[in-house]
Amino acid sequence: MDNIAKGIPHMSLDIDEEAVVENATTIREKQGHSCCGGCCDVRRAVIIICIINIVGNTINMLLSATTKSMAHGIANGIATFDDDMFNSQAADQSVQTLDSELNSFMIIEFARIVAAGLAMLGAFTFNKYLVAINVISLLVMYASMGGIIVGLLINGLFLYPHVFLILYIHNGIMTKENYPYERQSCCCVPPV
């Protein structure tokens, strides 16, 4: 006796292959390349570079503030020791010039800290425009370095992951949804 005669619903073994393929969880291969000698993905590299930039620029600002304070102390010392050998007016003029240059430098460093912070936020939120702000900052710094080879090399290496992250976000390779397939780290990241 067949199942229909017994009142058991008929079950078909026909499978809609298109529906299965459409609903299946696909395992996707990593499309983006590794950065830093295979150590990490470009998103993670941008975050690390932004942290390095923020720390370095903060140290530069603190050193500038310390230099300003020392220069004022020296100028005050010269003014109180005014003698024929020392010209307190020249010292005051030198301190004012140094003050002006250090203030400009500190403003630039603060702007670079903001740019790195925005780029880090952009990397966390997959926003290519926020990452591009730090690219502009690095390019301006790169252009102002002149002939300093080491500085040019470091800025070039810092630009590399930023540019690729922007391209990967733009092309849909790095998104919140597919980042688990793209993430990579030589430490700290369990396998997918």
Angle 21-26-31 from CA coordinates, rounded to 5°: 130
Look up the pTM and report it: 0.68
pLDDT of res. 100: 80
Q: Among 15-29, 31-45, 90-104, 109-123, which is the least confidently predicted range?
A: 15-29
Q: Tokens 């702000």 label which residue? A: 133
Q: Residues 154, 35, 169, 136: what is their CA dihedral angle, to the nearest 10 degrees?
A: 0
Q: Alpha helices, DSSP H only, in the chain?
A: 3-6, 17-23, 42-80, 88-125, 128-144, 149-170, 179-182
| Alpha helices, DSSP H, located in 3-87 | 3-6, 17-23, 42-80
DSSP letter assigned to residue 185: B
Higher-pLDDT residue of 68 and 33 is 68
pLDDT band of residue 176 (cuts 50, 70, 90) is confident
Residue 141's pLDDT band (cuts 50, 70, 90): confident
